[in-house]
Amino acid sequence: MQKVKFEDLGLISYKKAWDYQSELHQALKDRKVEARRNKETLTAPTHHLLFCEHPPVYTLGKSGSEDNILLDEKQLEEQGFEYFKINRGGDITYHGPGQIVGYPIFDMDFFFTDVHKYVRYLEEAIIRTLKHYDIEAYRIKEYTGVWLPEKGFIPKRKICAIGVHLSRWVTLHGFAFNVKPRLNHFNNIIPCGINDADKAVTSLENELGEAVDMEEVKNLVKGHLAKLFEFETL
């Protein structure tokens, strides 16, 4: 069973968290290169799982369009939003307090080398967490992430965004699970570049209509990830 060091970084700037996960990501890649150079058998590393929340920030993936952010640079600054272009897949997304942002830094050579399966497992951990709260969630074939089905006049709602990057089969970036963020902050973007009238963004608290315990949700997500990927948390 693989060993994963879990860290809850709390509220941390996007740049600081990005630098930290990049450092961990590079270290896992470097050890693979070193083992190959020295013709040594690569032993299982300690993988990492970071949870955090960010101050309000918009991030644009490498395949995204700046047309999907609806504020200009001055408006972003005036309203207190940061903005970063990054190397994950996907388009524009929002991170802010009340989200669980998860960054798995796994060497997938020690799990499985299947990007599609990796993303499905991240989605599945959120789907199982929502089931704990009696919320039905599912996937939409055309889009990554976790969605809730239409309900009367209420459209499909995205509750978790996923954007990943892999290099030498070491993972970077991850997921953003809307537990209780300010949903109006999504109005400043076309979330994930999806501008369909029948799709919206939601949160766990919005769906339940009552407060939820952030720590309880974190523990559920972490537990489901451990079961799906079959790792032991350090």
Residue 155: what pLDDT?
84
Q: Phi first, then psi: what are they for 150, rounded to 5°?
A: -55, 150
Q: In this structure, which topology does domain 2-233 adopt according to CATH? A: BirA Bifunctional Protein; domain 2 (3.30.930)
Q: Is 192 a catalytic residue?
A: yes
Tell me the pTM: 0.92
Partners of residue 223 on adjacent β-strands: none
Residue 129: what pLDDT?
98
The catalytically annotated residue of 4, 160, 192, 220 is: 192
- Percent composition of the chain: helix, strand, coil (DSSP 3-state, to 5): 35, 35, 30
Query: How many angstroms separate the CA atoms of 102 and 49, rounded?
Result: 7
Residue 88: what pLDDT?
79
Nearest 5°: CA angle at 18, between 16 and 22? 120
Residue 205: what pLDDT?
97
Residue 197: what pLDDT?
62
Residue 84: what pLDDT?
78
Residue 9, helix vs strand vs coil: strand
Q: Phi first, then psi: what are they for 31, rounded to 5°?
A: -65, -30
Query: How is the chain split into domains, by residue range?
Result: 2-233
Q: Phi first, then psi: what are they for 221, rounded to 5°?
A: -60, -45
Report mean pLDDT in 10-residue bins for the chain, 234 residues: 97 96 96 89 95 93 76 81 79 91 97 97 98 95 89 86 94 96 84 67 96 97 98 96
